[in-house]
Amino acid sequence: MRVYLDHNASAPLLKSAQDAIVAALGVTGNPSSVHTEGRTARSIVAKARSDVAALAGAESEAVVFTSGATEAASTCLTPHWMRDGRDLVLPRLAVIDTDHPCIREGGRFASADVTRLPVLPDGTLRLDALDAWLDAGPPGLMAFCEANSETGVTQPVEAIVERCRAAGAVVVCDSVQVAGRMPLGALRLGVDAMILSAHKIGGPKGIGAFILGSASMRPTPLLTGGAQETRQRAGTEAMPLIAGFGAAAAVVLDDATRPEDLLALRQRLEAGFRALAPGFLILGADAERLPQTVMVHHPALRAETAQIAMDLAGFAVSAGSACSSGKIGGSSVLEAMARGGAAIDPSRGGIRVSFGRETSVAEIDRFLAAFASFWARQGNSPQVRQVA
């Protein structure tokens, strides 16, 4: 039986989300119509909006549904915002050099106006570089991923927001990887927009959202031509996908699984890697990280080779972000960490193991045993001991 250990790419679809999608597919009405069928459809969207808002700690009216996190990022990463109904022009953008491509590439900003801020060896933002950027020009927009999709390293949101607020900068936080794994606190800390994606929390692919921190601050729409989503995103809402998103958000909010439970599995996995050979490095080991993500690097390990071998052995793991894998070459995350001083070879890549509430201790142990066999076949001498 295969073991799925690539939750950061996409979490398994929850049964409640699947049921909500199927039920919504049987509803005929357009959510914008005023007749009974339309009101029925609109009520499904409203319920999902409320559930997503509750997960983020926001009001329902703050949630704007999109086709996914990438569209949400493209909407929010724009020089043109509205503050209290008046145009607000943000002439420059800062991102973190390890960010997901949908943030790192700058959205609707011209490339010349985008600054990629460096990181420390552990992958966290160099706050002195942020300070220098804030001091170097007029107020701009700071956008960043709260948790790195490859290493799981989390950024110091409170410190970032505090500095940006003092300088008058707008802040957009991509919390896609945090939802369902750690409490969502970015809106409470004062970001202007938070980005979420349904399929990272057990909802369907093809639906996401950005959530505004204030009714007085909003980006200019990316898609125009209709009044849907309070004129923030034109086009008929994808009601079945939205219903699935809401159902998944409700499960995540009510789930009894604590980060500590996931952390215990992560620690077991890390101990297994370290027992295998002394050269295995857990990337970001000294930083705050997601409780269910491990990225391991070894100078004698080529990540693509290990990924294929694990797939053939029945284990789904990753050699990096799902938006950059499938290509030959180093990870931009590892390259940025190496520039920051990490003693790694980005060209060798890293193996990412990410799991969820469905993952068992037995599955982690099976993966470690299979990886040890692969390691031995490469001409290495495994030194595996039983993980307590």
Whether 244 shows a pLDDT value over 50: the answer reads: yes
| Residue pLDDT, tens place only, 30-63 | 999 999 999 999 999 999 999 999 999 999 999 9
| Residue pLDDT, tens place only, 155-167 | 999 999 999 999 9
Whether 285 shows a pLDDT value over 60: the answer reads: yes
Which position has the higher pLDDT, 324 or 263? 263
Residue 325: the pLDDT is 47
Whether 330 shows a pLDDT value over 90: the answer reads: no
Separation CA 164–CA 193 (nearest Å): 14
The full DSSP string for 91-111 is: --EEEETTS-HHHHT-TTS-G
Separation CA 338–CA 197 (nearest Å): 29
- Phi and psi for 376 in degrees, rounded to 5? -65, -35
Beta bridge partners of 293: 354
Which position has the higher pLDDT, 320 or 198? 198
* Mean predicted confidence (pLDDT) in 243-256: 91
pTM: predicted TM-score of the whole model, two decimal places: 0.94
* Mean predicted confidence (pLDDT) in 62-71: 98
Dihedral, CA of residue 363, residue 366, residue 371 and residue 372, to nearest 10: 140
- Phi and psi for 269 in degrees, rounded to 5? -65, -45
What does the mean pLDDT of the chain come to? 93
pLDDT band at 225; cut points 50, 70, 90: very high
Separation CA 115–CA 113 (nearest Å): 7
**Would you call 145 a catalytic residue per the annotation?**
no
pLDDT band at 261; cut points 50, 70, 90: confident
Degrees, nearest 5: CA angle 150-147-312: 25
**Annotated catalytic residue within 76, 102, 145, 323:** 323
Whether 100 shows a pLDDT value over 60: the answer reads: yes
Residue 317: the pLDDT is 97
pLDDT band at 256; cut points 50, 70, 90: low
* Mean predicted confidence (pLDDT) in 22-36: 96
Mention every residue, 6+ apart, whose C-beta is less than 8 A from residue 265: 292, 355, 359, 361, 364
Terminal-residue alpha carbon distance, the chain = 24
Architecture of the 15-254 domain: 3-Layer(aba) Sandwich (3.40)
Residue 323: the pLDDT is 56
Separation CA 242–CA 251 (nearest Å): 14
The domain ranges of the chain are: 3-10+257-377, 15-254
| Residue pLDDT, tens place only, 126-184 | 999 999 999 999 999 999 999 999 999 999 999 999 999 999 999 999 999 999 999 99
Strand intervals (E) in the chain: 3-4, 63-66, 80-83, 86-89, 93-96, 114-117, 141-145, 170-174, 193-197, 208-212, 217-219, 281-282, 293-297, 315-316, 351-354
Residue 259: the pLDDT is 81
Does 3.90.1150.10 match the CATH number of domain 3-10+257-377?
yes
Work out the percent of the chain whose per-residue pLDDT is above 90.
Answer: 89
Whether 12 shows a pLDDT value over 70: the answer reads: yes
Residue 388: the pLDDT is 41
Residue matched to tokens 């020089």: 79
pLDDT band at 203; cut points 50, 70, 90: very high
pLDDT band at 387; cut points 50, 70, 90: very low
Domain 3-10+257-377 shares a fold with domain 15-254: no
Q: Which of 78-87, 244-253, 373-382 has the weakest average pLDDT?
A: 373-382
DSSP letter assigned to residue 12 = P
Residue 382: the pLDDT is 52
Whether 327 shows a pLDDT value over 60: the answer reads: no
